[in-house]
Amino acid sequence: MKIFLRVLADPGYRNAVAEELGVDQGTVSKNYSLVMNKVIEKAHVWIRFPQTRVEIQQAKDMWSEKYQFPNAVGVIDCSHIRIPKFGVFGDEYINRKGYPSINVQMTCNARESFTSVDCQWPGSVHDNRIFKNSAIYNVLKYSVEECLILGDEGYSITPWTMTPYRNQGTAAQRAYDNRAMLWTNTKCVLNLKKYLQPSYLVLCCTISQNG
């Protein structure tokens, strides 16, 4: 586990990790792959979006108690994780800032723990499209409970998605957006360097953050 956590902290330098810990590079790679696969097998246990009536009510109660905002179960955001450019379909991974990435969608609850992560989309795909094609979108859309998620201006407003006002015209709108700043402060954003298996590594880092 020590080797695995050390590689997560600095995934681009396995030779340096091996030298630091006094083992060979092959041992580092083997240990990292073994532990990563075991962690991913249990991902559904540690990263879980509220779905049952009890889970949704608990998530709403936590959010309401901490942020005085009703019916919210968490926040949603995306983060671009830089990767090497692929030779095949590489242009699909070029994001709006001009570098190759995967666009990772994450949701957090009031405890700032991750409740879902989707790391299968190339960097050229917009946040809102990722959300509309995700499992949590359908959970929220078809839930019989009155619940919603909070996001930034990149998301469409729906009965289950709320975003800040673009133009604050009234005192009520300003008060609403001041509350929105609290949502932003709860977003958990990953800041990772280049790595060889981005989707798996993002998932493992997400689980580690929850721990």
| Tens of pLDDT, residues 103-155 | 989 888 888 888 998 888 999 999 999 999 999 999 999 998 899 999 888 89
Helix (H) or strand (E) holding 147: none
Cα 176 to Cα 165: distance, rounded to the nearest angstrom: 8
DSSP conformation class of 83: -
pTM of the model: 0.76
Residue found under tokens 């993002």: 202
| Tens of pLDDT, residues 45-78 | 788 999 999 999 999 999 999 888 889 999 998 8
For the chain, the domains span 2-41, 44-210
> How would you classify the pairing of strands 101-108 and 148-150?
unpaired
Q: Is 62 helix (H, G, I), strand (E, B) or coil?
A: helix
Q: Which parts of the chain fold into alpha helices (H)?
A: 2-9, 14-21, 25-41, 43-46, 53-67, 127-132, 135-142, 171-186, 198-210
